[in-house]
Amino acid sequence: MPPSLAETFRNDSKRLEAALGLDAGSARIEVQCLLQVVLQVNRAHLLTHPEQILNAEQQAHFTALFERRLSGEPIAYILGEREFYGLNFRVTPATLIPRSDTELLVELALQHIPPRSAFRVLDLGTGSGALALSIAHARPEAEVTAVDASPEALDVARENAQRLNIANVRLLQSDWFSALGGERYDLIVSNPPYIAEGDAHLAQGDLRFEPRAALASGADGLDDIRRIVAGAKQHLNADGWLLFEHGYDQAERARELLRQNGYSGVFSACDLSGIERVSGGMIS
C-alpha cells in the first residue's frame, strides 16, 4: 500500500533530518513544500487530508524531487523560488538564493529613501533582483538601477521584475561600475561576494550549489568590497550613502575601508542574531 500524506510527512521528514542535519520543523516544512508542488494544493489541504494517498505519477514526481533534496541540492533551487522581504523571487543555479539576513540591508536602504521622491538607487550585484526589486516595490517612485556581471542572473532578475510587475528598475550587465559611465546615485546598495577563496564553507551545504562568482572574493573575501568602496565615491551624489553587506567578521575592516576612502558617518548595523552584517558611509 503506498504511503499516506501523514506517513510521508513522518518518514521523509526524518530522512531529511538525518541526511542533512535539519531540525525537525525545517525538515517537515520542506516535505510540505515538495508535496504542495507535486499535488498543486495549498498547505491547508495537506494538513486537512492526512489520509490521502499519492497516485503512481504523483509518487514518482515526489520521489524525484525528494531524492534531489536528499542529495543536498538547495530546496530553493528545487522549488525554483524563495520568499524575500515579502515577495516571491524566482531563483535558479545562476543566482544566489536570497538570505533573510539581507533583509536588514533593505530596511536600512528604505530608511534613506524618502517616500514619493525620484530618488536614484543603484544595486550592485543584483542576482535574482532581491534587493533592487524589494526596494523598488516599497518605493515605486524611486529610480532603481541594478547591475550584475552575469547575463544569466540578469535574465532571472528581469523575469522577477515582470512577475512582480515592478517597472521602476533598470537592469544592466556591468562589471561593477563599468557600464555606468558618469552616472550618479543618491544611494548605492550591494550584497557582494565576500567569502574568502579558501573558506571551507564554500564546500558545504547550499553554498556548494550556488555560483562561485556570487560568493567568493579573493584571499580575504574583501576584493569586491574594496572595489565597490573605492568606485562608489565617483557615483554618489553629495550626501549620498553606500550601504553593503559583509561577512560576520568583516565589519571592522569594512569601516576602516570606508574611512580610508573618505566616507563620513561610518557605521555598522547588526542582523537579528546580533552580528554586524551591514556597514555604510556617506560622501559629502
Ligand X SMILES: C[S@@+](CC[C@H](N)C(=O)[O-])C[C@H]1O[C@@H](n2cnc3c(N)ncnc32)[C@H](O)[C@@H]1O
- Write out the residues near ligand X by the rule CB under 6 A: 96, 98, 102, 125-128, 130-131, 147-150, 153, 174-176, 191-193, 213-214, 224
- What are the CA-CA distances from residue 50 to residues 13, 43, 55, 256 (Å)? 15, 11, 15, 56
In the complex, least distance from residue 86 CB atom to ligand X, rounded to whole angstroms:
15
In the complex, least distance from residue 222 CB atom to ligand X, rounded to whole angstroms:
13
Q: Which residue has the cell 543603484?
A: 122
For the chain, how many helices (H) and strands (E)?
Answer: 10, 9
Closest CB to ligand X among residues 50, 93: 93
Closest CB to ligand X among residues 104, 282: 104
Closest CB to ligand X among residues 98, 240: 98
In the complex, least distance from residue 198 CB atom to ligand X, rounded to whole angstroms:
18
Closest CB to ligand X among residues 192, 221: 192
In the complex, least distance from residue 147 CB atom to ligand X, rounded to whole angstroms:
6
Which residue's CB comes closest to ligand X?
125
Amino acid occupying residue 284 = S
Cα three-residue angle 220-246-194, rounded to 5 degrees: 40
In the complex, least distance from residue 117 CB atom to ligand X, rounded to whole angstroms:
23
Closest CB to ligand X among residues 2, 80: 80
**CB distance 110 to 91 below 8 Å:** no
Within the chain, where are the H helices? Answer: 5-20, 24-39, 43-48, 56-70, 75-79, 103-112, 130-138, 151-163, 223-232, 251-260
Closest CB to ligand X among residues 8, 174: 174
Q: How many CB atoms lie within 10 A of CB 78?
A: 17
In the complex, least distance from residue 196 CB atom to ligand X, rounded to whole angstroms:
14
Find the helix packing angle between 223-232 and 251-260, rounded to 10°. Answer: 30
**Grid cell digits, residue 230:** 573605492
Residue 33 Cα to chain centre, angstroms: 19
Closest CB to ligand X among residues 33, 171: 171
In the complex, least distance from residue 189 CB atom to ligand X, rounded to whole angstroms:
9
Q: How many CB atoms lie within 10 A of CB 150?
A: 18
Helix (H) or strand (E) holding 255: helix 251-260
